[in-house]
Amino acid sequence: MALLIVIRHRSQPNRPKYIAYAKEPTQGGELPNSRPPPVARLYAHRTSRGHRHYRYSRGHAAARARESQVEGSGVICLNNNKQLGLAYILYADDNGDKLCGNLDGGNSQDPRQSNNTWCVGWLDSGRGTPSGANTNIAFLMNSQLGKYSQSPGIYKCPADKSKDNNGRGAPRVRSVSMNAYLGERAAPFSAGYQQFKKYSSITRPAPSSCWVFVEEREDSINDGWFAVDMDNFDPSRRAADRWVDWPSSYHNGACAFSFADGHGEHKKWLDPRTKPKIGRIGTASPNNPDVLWTQLRTSSKINNPTIPQ
């Protein structure tokens, strides 16, 4: 026997939101060979005409919609990061194996450095540095990867809701940063570790294991350079684990990465200290497995390494 399923808004009870047909439900009121939605429960009642109607409670429907939105933004963000990763590879192919620049601090704030780094501009809660960096896509598209990425939208995670001018202005244009151990630099952030300057030099970790771009939290991101402290990695001293810059957890506690071979991954963080509430970063994080996961995919010790990568 066919069954009409109608999901309605309580505010508009006479207007179906979704209509579908299914088999007759079991005595318990559930559809056979199916599981209830994870956050929304179907409620059944019989009308005067004998039809069984199913609808979501308002709160459950809203929760399911939010979950679907987060899942959708995660897919978009992962694709964005993969496109940036491919732009990164194309740049190296066109420039004799040389990796694009990755400037930090004051140099990253100077538009005259656009030919020396993958992106220019320092993001903050105000207007950015130089003024307008929070919202001006020219600082992205005029830099080294601009002609390869071709789309300013792929620099921004749709789940990142941060805005210019202390939350009162336009959305900020960038959510991603680059591995600090990639690109020309006088010395690495942690002494004794590889600073990769050519694509062919990325061997430990291999390109499939070396991350390039990461989503950075809105209260951590500034320049496009994401620092990872490697000092306690090899030899291992897990009690000294810490975050310098903080990855996001926009996608149900997960963060999007792209890797040097062009693929992308979502990393589901295991330690709650990796994903504190906005404005509460900076706390110590000893014995944090998420820090180790990131270190393994960031760089490697130059002399006498003891940890396989």
Q: Domain coordinates of the chain in residue numbers?
A: 2-56, 73-296
8 Å CB contact between 254 and 157:
no
| pLDDT of res. 103 | 97
Task: Kindly indicate the confidence band of residue 72, based on its pLDDT and cuts at 50, 70 and 90.
Answer: low
pLDDT at residue 71, as a whole number: 53
- pLDDT, tens digit, for every residue of 117-165? 999 999 999 999 999 999 999 999 999 999 999 999 999 999 999 999 9
pLDDT band at 292 (very low <50, low <70, confident <90, very high): very high
| pLDDT of amino acid 58 | 45
Please state, rounded to an integer, the average pLDDT across all residues of the chain.
83
Query: Does the structure show a pLDDT above 50 at 16?
Result: no
Q: How confident is the model at residue 36 (pLDDT cuts 50, 70, 90)?
A: very low
The average pLDDT across 168-195 equals 97
Provide the pLDDT confidence category of residue 74 given band limits of 50, 70 and 90: confident
pLDDT at residue number 271? 98
